[in-house]
Amino acid sequence: MTALDSAPPPLAAPDTAAVLAALGSGERPRPQGPLAASATFGWRTLLRIKHVPEQLFDVTVFPVMLTLIFTYLFGGALAGSVEAYVQFFLPGILVQSILMITMYTGVALNTDIGKGVFDRIRSLPVWRPSALVGALLGDVVRFTLASVVVLGLGMALGLRPGGGVVGLLAAVGLLLVFAFALGWVWTYLALRLRTPQAVMGWSMMVLMPLTFGSNIFVDPATMPGWLRSVVEVNPVSHLVSAVRGLVHGGVDGADVGWVLLWAAALVAVLGPLTMRRYRARA
């Protein structure tokens, strides 16, 4: 018997109909739209809490620690009593607590990049910015939880908001808008830096002077002239003034306008830069 005699017979051409039946004859699902895709990635961000409950630390324990430490540390010295100081300080520490935890948006994204999850996400047939927008929207839910914790603690310490429920909701809403816009800064850093530790380090370098060099803790009128000028142009100072005014019912429309302008500028500048960097990595 020769080698030709022992060769297997040629394979028959596959039956196209049988192949289609095996793969399923259902209609191919349509890709999600921008809103649906962003909501899906936002839900993914929230699911991380289920698998890593330690993430709740920065939206519960951390704001409580900041509020209690600074209230009892400065209350008697600056206002004569904790009850008097908390009326001025609580809106400011609410802003600081939320802004300080916005950095974890960039840390989480950089962690995904390091683990290879980022490469899987960018290969999906969805609206390209949805992964970033969804992560930011998911973190807005975390910021809302932190706001509820701080305001609840403030009420227990003696906060009496003159703006009522409407003022509190407006203050939290304005703060969330600014936090969402600020998150684009950390998202951009996450795409530029190599490690989560680097993202956190750079974020702290930005947040520390912005928050402590503002009107969160004391009235700028008590500061030297040069320092007061710096504090008054700080975007965080505009945010604190707007939140403080909404909480107590005496908001200045100019402060709200400045906050919205800063938020729009951050998104307008950092959004395109982030997407440009996102596409460069693809």
Structurally, the chain folds into a number of domains equal to 1
Tell whether 8 is covered by a domain: no
Q: How confident is the prediction for the chain on average, in pLDDT?
A: 86
Report if residue 25 sits inside a domain. no
Residue 4, in any domain of the structure: no
How confident is residue 49, by pLDDT bands cut at 50, 70 and 90? confident
Domain range for 65: 33-281
Give a yes or no: residue 146 inside a domain.
Answer: yes
Q: Is residue 26 part of a domain?
A: no
- pLDDT score, position 58: 76
The Cα 144–Cα 56 span in angstroms is 12
In a domain, 5, yes or no: no
In a domain, 21, yes or no: no
**pLDDT: which is higher, 67 or 235:** 235
**Res 201: pLDDT:** 94
Is 189 within a domain?
yes
Residue 2 scores a pLDDT above 70: no
- pLDDT given at position 117: 81
* pLDDT, tens digit (0-9, with 9 covering 90-100), for 4-46: 555 566 656 566 666 666 665 556 667 777 888 888 888 888 8
Question: Mean of the pLDDT values across residues 68-86?
Answer: 83
**What contacts 232, CB < 8 A, 6 or more positions away?**
220
Confidence (pLDDT) at 29: 64
Share of the chain above pLDDT 90, in %: 44
